[in-house]
Structure 1
Amino acid sequence: MQLTLIELFALGLAIFRLTHLIVFDKITEFLRAPFFDEYVEVEENGEEAIYLSPKKGGLKGFIGELLSCYWCTGIWVSGFLYAGYCFFPLYFVPLITLLAVAGIAAILETAVQSWKTD
């Protein structure tokens, strides 16, 4: 299946947004939690900082390593969304559109926040 430039751009934005949602966003923290160990360290200024480290070994360790790398997660998200687009377009075209629009909004919000601090 050949993608048009607009479809490729929309798919790219959707992949960006879903990858960010899985790897970084607080709302999906409960999905990542079983695959990470949490460490609390006291910083020089006395504040506590929480660090996450992928669990060691086994399937949980593998998934933890995958989730700690947005490049790695992005590859799997790309495969998932593209396969869904090819084989189940009725369900995946609306999902990709929603994620692409959310990706545009995220990029714009980041740009606005950056301009506000300058």
Structure 2
Amino acid sequence: MDLSLVQLLALGFAIFRMTHLIVFDKITEWMRAPFFDEVKEVEDGVEEIYLIPKTTGLKGFIGQLLSCYWCTGIWVSLFLYGGYLLFPVIFGPLTTLLAVAGVAAIIEAAVQYWNRESV
């Protein structure tokens, strides 16, 4: 299936947004939690919490996957593009929703950056 430039851009923004949602966003912490161990370190009286992927089995594999933005992006690409090819009625609107959210996230990050630079 050939993709138009608009479809390719929409898919790219959708993949960006869904990957970010899975790997970084607070709203999906519950989904990542079973695959990581928390390690607390105190330095100069400040406590830092680090998430370390579990080391063995399927949880370790998924933890390693979720700790790598690029790796997760590959699987999200496969899911969204495959879904778009096989079930366009479902994945078309989902891709559009995620693409619009991705563009909005990029614009918001740019605005925050510019606001920090101007202060």
Tell me the TM-score normalized by structure 2. Answer: 0.97
Q: Partners in 1 of 2:20 and 2:89 — Cα distance?
A: 24
TM-aligned CA deviation for residue 108 of structure 1:
0.3
Q: After superposition, what is the alpha-carbon deviation per residue over 1:6-43, rounded to whole angstroms, capped at 9, x for unaligned?
A: 00000000000000000000000000000000011112
Residue 41 of structure 2 corresponds to which residue in structure 1? 41
SS across alignment from 1:3: coil
Secondary structure in 1 aligned to 2:3?
A: coil
1:47: Cα distance to partner? 1.5
What is the match of residue 93 of structure 2? 94
Look up the match of 2:112.
113
Structure 1 vs Structure 2 CA RMSD = 0.5
Equivalent pairs, count: 117
One-letter amino acid of the counterpart of residue 32, structure 2: R
Distance 2:43 2:11 in 1: 41
Runs of 4+ with deviation above 2 angstroms = none
CA–CA distance in 1 between the matches of 2:60 and 2:43? 27
* CA–CA separation in structure 1 for the residues paired with 2:81 and 2:38: 34
1:10 & 1:86 partners in 2: Cα distance?
14
Identity of aligned residues (%): 72
Normalising by structure 1, report the TM-score. 0.98
2:72 is aligned with 1:73? yes
